Amino acid sequence: MADVLSRGTLFDQELVTDLINKVKGKSSLSVLSSQTPIPFNGQKEFIFTMDNEVDVVAENGKKSHGGISVEPVKIVPIKVEYGARVSDEFIYSSEEDKINILKAFNDGFAKKVAKGLDLMAFHGINPRTNTASSVIGTNHFDNIVTQTVSFTANDPDANIEAAIAMIHGSEGDVNGLAISPIFSSALAKMKVNGVRLFPELAWGANPGSINGLKADINRTVENATVKDRAIIGDFANMVKWGYAKEIPFEVIKYGDPDNSGKDLKGYNQVYLRAEVYLGWGIMDGASFVRIVEA
């Protein structure tokens, strides 16, 4: 076990699989969209646009030019990390105790990665500082998705219908909906003749689908500066995310790795640090609509 916990080693495959499965269960983006492995150097996804429809050709008839355009979208992984100080008793713990600590750390890290993926991809912010990240730049929904509908608390169902009409008007598909608790609560309150329109949303439930549409309720849809209440569109085809499979894990015994001004040895501590490389790409902004509160 000591070799596994040395500086610069990797989470074993079992822990990596467990981590990613937990991320899938807690991130709206990963719930609604497809995952693809991302190499460290990134990869390009190509979207072909056929300018015309297919052509009926008679026997011995002349074929005409249909036209095509292609726009590559590059998915580049971004490194995110999380670290924490623990007592150096960790180093001297039994094998079983070390494994339990690792599993607990992995569980907490997965939750932070899941939340971070949404905050980065939806809003382009650094999750720790809650401010715009120059590393992410413009690669996020708040920038790329320019089609918006104004949120009305007394009729959020109409907001969704308007958003769907907008996407269909761009010849896009709708197969996913990410909504904030505020939007979910507004839907849950809607009644006709005293009967709830969306009883599956009562009491803060997250049913997984609404009116047959795959949906996820998550606080990460909201942002302090941009008041997104919902994002709807073609999550299945027009957005992809992925991670590099190798996830470094370190046990650092010396120095001040978190720049806190406290030497590890001086405080009888060690520092646990994990890193993960995440990437995402939005293929077509017109395939999505954001429902935003003014």
pLDDT band of 247, cuts 50, 70, 90: confident
Secondary structure of 70-98 as H, E, C letters: EEEEEECCEEEEEEEEEEHHHCCCCHHHH
Per residue in 215-225, pLDDT (tens digit) is 999 999 998 88
Domains and CATH numbers, the chain: 9-51+67-292 (3.90.1690)
pLDDT at 104: 84
Nearest to residue 180, comparing CAs of 113, 107, 119?
A: 119
Q: What are phi and psi of 10, to 5 degrees?
A: -115, 150
pLDDT at 6 over 50: no
pLDDT at 65: 65
pLDDT band of 97, cuts 50, 70, 90: confident
pLDDT at 2: 37
What gap in Å lies between CA 124 and CA 120, rounded to an integer?
A: 4
Average of per-residue pLDDT across 169-193: 96
In 94-147, DSSP assigns E strands to: 125-126, 131-132
- Mean pLDDT over the full length of the chain: 86
Strand 34-35 and strand 239-243: the pairing is parallel
pLDDT at 264 over 80: yes
Average of per-residue pLDDT across 41-47: 66
pLDDT at 3: 37
pLDDT band of 48, cuts 50, 70, 90: low
Residue at token pair 């009883």: 199
Per residue in 122-157, pLDDT (tens digit) is 999 999 999 999 999 999 999 999 999 999 999 999
Q: What are phi and psi of 89, to 5 degrees?
A: -60, -20
> Comparing 4-8, 183-187, 193-197, 283-287, which segment has the lowest mean pLDDT?
4-8
What gap in Å lies between CA 23 and CA 18, rounded to an integer?
A: 9
Full-prediction pTM beyond 0.75? yes
* 111 vs 183, higher pLDDT: 183
> Comparing 85-89, 160-164, 192-196, which segment has the lowest mean pLDDT?
85-89
